[in-house]
Amino acid sequence: MDISIIIPIYNGEKFIDSCFNSILYQEIANLNVEICVCNDGSIDNTPNLLSNWENILKSHNFTFKLINHPFGQPLGCGKSKNSAVSISTGKYLCFQDVDDLMFPHRLIEQYNAASELTNNYIVGSRIVREPKNSTVRYTNWANNLDDNKLDVQIFTSNGPTIIMPTWFMHRSIFHKIGGFSEKVKGEPEDLIFFYNHLDLGGKLHRVNQVLVSYTYHTNCTTHSIHEDIIWDVRIKRLQEKILIDWKEFTIWNAGKQGRKLFKSLSEENQKKVIALCDVDSNKVGKYYTPFDLNLRISKKPIEIIHFSKAKAPIIICVKMDMTNGVFEDNLNSLNLQEGKDYIIFS
């Protein structure tokens, strides 16, 4: 089998027909494709719809496989993906969320790209958002981040630089990582998988074509993950992979986000902060923050300086593309290299 399409579903009756129609009309040439679905205990009409689609897909020479979690007992997105992979046999895994659509050339384009690369690449693509004009900044970032920054700009709140609903990978990547984390709720299993992939020497590639329609709605899995949990995952990695090698650093943002970052750091890393910096001259001064020293609370002032005097390396806690280019111009004026002299943690 060439490709296994992996689809986790929980109460997907609103989306199943459109999702599977988009699979039905894939341009697959001579590829052998199977659809591997995990029904995560759905209590709506999902089982009946899947039964109908099994017949339709088989009549079009697709192999259809289904695994069911206990009725009314959803085990979560990570477990569902793992279960669907467990019944698959494809050389490559193509992850598809039921509320999204794949454009007709998705499989062939990503298969061709993956075939030309070594087996340690997660291959993604550009996206279009549905409804249009939702999450404009996010979509722009996902589609236009420079290829050479896909493994650099990995600490932003946007999540993986290769967007999960576009993932296509060699089966060996999944097995090397050991699958997705299986906590039922509240864990960003895709971000954790993404970080594990990079830690094991994995590479990233984006096909610079729009291959997936990525649906935005309030009931999507992303909205079930609290932003503080994602923040903690990012902080943990920042400290373990970046700050461990830095003897001192500056935090760019003397406001709420910069101070939140400071307070989230370990005491050891807090002591490495030599200054906060900001574009606002009115914020220049001192920042007093509590330190727990010798089991008592004392206060240690940290300088707040103008950004033009900031000393690298710098952690930037400013959202990009929010000031009509003014912030980006200020950053560029310092002639710093992203990934070496500064990390974006927005």
Render 23-68 in DSSP notation, one character per residue: HHT---TT--EEEEEEE-S--SSHHHHHHHHHHHHHHTT-EEEEEE
Are the beta carbons of 87 and 7 closer than 8 angstroms?
Answer: no
Do 109 and 121 have their domain in common?
yes
pLDDT of 299 reads 57
Q: Please tell me the distance from the alpha carbon of residue 198 to that of residue 226, in angstroms, as a whole number.
A: 24
DSSP bridge pairs for 315: 251, 343
The answer to pTM > 0.85 is yes
pLDDT of 293 reads 43
Among residues 184, 199, 225, the one where a domain terminates is 225
Kindly state the DSSP code that residue 224 receives in the 8-state scheme.
G
Do 73 and 163 have their domain in common?
yes
Say which CATH number the domain at 71 has.
3.90.550.10
Q: What is the domain count for the chain?
A: 2
Do 192 and 283 have their domain in common?
no
CA 278 to each of CA 261, 262, 318: distance values in angstroms, whole numbers, following the listed order: 14, 14, 10
Phi, psi (deg, nearest 5) at residue 24: -55, -35
Do 48 and 30 have their domain in common?
yes
pLDDT of 326 reads 86
Q: Helices in 87-127 by DSSP H: which ranges?
A: 106-116
The mean pLDDT values, 10 residues at a time, for the chain of 346 residues are 97 97 93 97 97 95 96 94 98 98 98 98 97 88 96 93 97 98 84 97 98 82 72 95 97 92 94 92 75 49 90 93 82 94 94
Q: Is 325 exposed, middle or buried (0-12, 13-18, 19+ CB in 10 A)?
A: exposed
Do 103 and 157 have their domain in common?
yes
Do 139 and 173 have their domain in common?
yes
Do 217 and 246 have their domain in common?
no
Are the beta carbons of 272 and 248 closer than 8 angstroms?
Answer: yes
pLDDT of 296 reads 44
Do 30 and 91 have their domain in common?
yes
Are the beta carbons of 24 and 57 closer than 8 angstroms?
Answer: yes
Among residues 201, 225, 249, the one where a domain terminates is 225
Show the tokens assigned to 284: 């220049």
Find all residues with CB under 8 Å of 156, minimum gap 6, and list them: 141, 344, 345, 346
Edge to edge, the sheet with strand 92-95 lists 63-68, 33-39, 3-9, 92-95, 168-170, 121-130, 203-215, 101-102
The residue with tokens 């569902």 is 80
Say which CATH number the domain at 298 has.
3.40.50
CA 113 to each of CA 91, 105, 117: distance values in angstroms, whole numbers, following the listed order: 14, 12, 7
Q: Helices in 220-337 by DSSP H: which ranges?
A: 227-237, 256-264, 267-270, 326-332
Do 209 and 264 have their domain in common?
no
pLDDT of 289 reads 63
Do 113 and 258 have their domain in common?
no
Using DSSP, state whether 164 is helix, strand or coil: helix
Using DSSP, state whether 286 is helix, strand or coil: strand
Do 193 and 322 have their domain in common?
no
pLDDT of 297 reads 47
Are the beta carbons of 299 and 288 closer than 8 angstroms?
Answer: yes
Domain that holds residue 209: 3-225
Do 252 and 183 have their domain in common?
no
Long-range contacts from 220-225, C-beta under 8 angstroms, 24+ separation: 220/99, 221/77, 221/97, 224/185, 224/186, 225/186, 225/187, 225/188
pLDDT of 184 reads 65
